[in-house]
Amino acid sequence: MSDQTINVEQAHSFRLCRCNITDEGCVALTLALQSIPSHLKHLNLSDNNLRDLGLKLISDVLKNPDCKLKILELCRCNITDEGCVALTSALESNPSHVTHLHLSNNYKLRDLGVKLISDVLKNPDCKLKILKLCRCNITDEGCVALTSALESNSSHLGDLDLSFNKLRDSGVKLISDVLKNPDCKLKILELCRCNITDEGCVALTSALQSNPSHLTHLNLSDNNLRDSGVKLISDVLKNPQCKLKILELCNCDITNKGCADLTSALRSNPSHLTHLHLSNNYKLRDSGVKLISDVLKNPDCKLKILKLCWCNITDEGCDALTSALRSNPSHLTHLNLSNNYNLRDSGVKLSDVLKNPDCKLKLLDLRDCGITANGCAVLKSALRSNPSNQAQLKI
């Protein structure tokens, strides 16, 4: 890269993900940005081995008062605490421009790095709206620092991703205290695979019950919530002030009982949720899918995206889904039923839905469902017979 001319003079967005950039290339890039820093808004250097030295060079760019970078993506760049010191020092000295910071998959960042970032968040001039810290080896200690910062200055951050960290219930309780704050502006909270159990779910849902009007996207996938946790979340969904649009509960060991609570909530308050992800809940089976199908029949239902991969669905569940979509075809745009191996050619029944001129499906995913060549032909023929439907069919 150092042998090439880096033309960034007209660029507002510069993406160099997975380009084998090392320190040497980073020197050339930052020299170019130092000479003309005022126009670039988005820099993505993810999946490069920048290490701490590369981050120090980028940090020098951020210190420049003419720097206008708003979005900085440095995921999987082998950054440690040392590099985070340089980055946060730069953001402390010039905090008013960066709004999106993506540092996910930097395993060596750990709690000390999060403490440094937390000091930036405390700055009243900080404008960070999106912070991604997925897979950064954060524990309770880092969560204490982060939530303390958000408690003292909670009015700007709208998107927080702490997935795949060892937060456990104690960390979730700390985050729940932030959510209770009436000044909290968090709209997106991702806590996938954080070792959350019922205890953490009680704290989280209690916070959302007391302050339900801001969060629109909640991801609790890959946590051992079970039916008891889903019941707590369902009580939040019943709240008429709840604004959740996207709910992700994949691989949470949900059975029919949990699905009954969830769908009961959606029947009583169907008008807000648009994305429901329940994949990898093997115990849902056909009885759970029938309950979901009853929700889809409701004319007030606003579900657009429904993901039910790996849910042990067979003919019976597919019949219920098909019937629901025939009676109310106008809202669902994405339906993912992949990896339901026992579905087989019963999935062909969905061809009746595809033929409907009111059908709004843009994606129907039936991969690894055991559909035969003849069944595939029937589905493709249904799409061709309805030229107004531009759905993508994956089989």
- Over its length of 395 residues, how does the chain's per-residue pLDDT go in tens digits? 434 444 545 557 888 888 888 878 888 888 888 877 667 899 999 999 988 999 999 999 999 888 889 999 999 999 998 999 999 999 999 887 899 999 999 999 999 999 999 999 999 899 999 999 999 999 999 999 999 999 988 768 999 999 999 999 999 999 999 999 888 989 999 999 999 999 999 999 999 999 887 999 999 999 999 999 999 999 999 999 999 999 999 999 999 999 999 999 999 988 799 999 999 999 999 999 999 999 999 999 999 999 999 999 999 999 999 999 999 887 999 999 999 999 999 999 999 999 988 888 999 999 999 999 999 999 999 988 887 777 899 99
C-beta separation of 90 from 63 below 8 A? yes
Domains of the chain, start order: 225-395 (3.80.10.10)
Residue 170 burial (CB count, 10 A): 15
Q: How far is CA 157 from CA 19, 161, 248, in A?
A: 30, 11, 21
113 CB contacts (<8 Å, ≥6 apart)?
79, 80, 81, 84, 103, 106, 136, 142
| Nearest alpha-carbon partner for 68 in 104, 33, 120, 27 | 33
- Strand residue runs (E) in the chain: 13-15, 42-44, 71-73, 100-102, 130-132, 159-161, 188-190, 217-219, 246-248, 275-277, 305-307, 334-336, 363-365, 392-394
The per-residue pLDDT for 348 is: 92
Structure tokens, 255? 């059975």
The amino acid sitting at 312 is N
Phi, psi of 346 (to 5 degrees): -65, -25
| Nearest alpha-carbon partner for 59 in 109, 16, 108, 98 | 98
- DSSP H helices, 133-197, are 140-152, 168-180
90 CB contacts (<8 Å, ≥6 apart)?
59, 60, 62, 63
Rounded-to-integer distance, Cα 31 and Cα 56, Å: 13
Rounded to 5°, the CA angle 337-381-312 comes to 15
The per-residue pLDDT for 5 is: 44
C-beta separation of 314 from 341 below 8 A? no
C-beta separation of 118 from 145 below 8 A? yes
Exposure string of 62-95, with b = 16+ CB inside 10 Å and e = fewer, is bebeebebbbbbbbbbbbbbebbbbbbbbbbebb
Tell me, what DSSP letter sits at residue 345? G
Q: What is the largest CA-CA distance in the chain?
A: 65
The per-residue pLDDT for 148 is: 94
Structure tokens, 169? 């219930």
Beta bridge partners of 335: 306, 364
Rounded-to-integer distance, Cα 6 and Cα 20, Å: 15
Q: Is 132 helix (H, G, I), strand (E, B) or coil?
A: strand
Structure tokens, 262? 């969830």
Rounded-to-integer distance, Cα 243 and Cα 48, Å: 38
The amino acid sitting at 249 is L
The per-residue pLDDT for 192 is: 98
Question: Mutual orientation of helices 226-238 and 256-268 as an angle, nearest 10°?
Answer: 0
C-beta separation of 54 from 31 below 8 A? no
Rounded-to-integer distance, Cα 32 and Cα 21, Å: 15
Rounded-to-integer distance, Cα 363 and Cα 336, Å: 8
The per-residue pLDDT for 390 is: 75
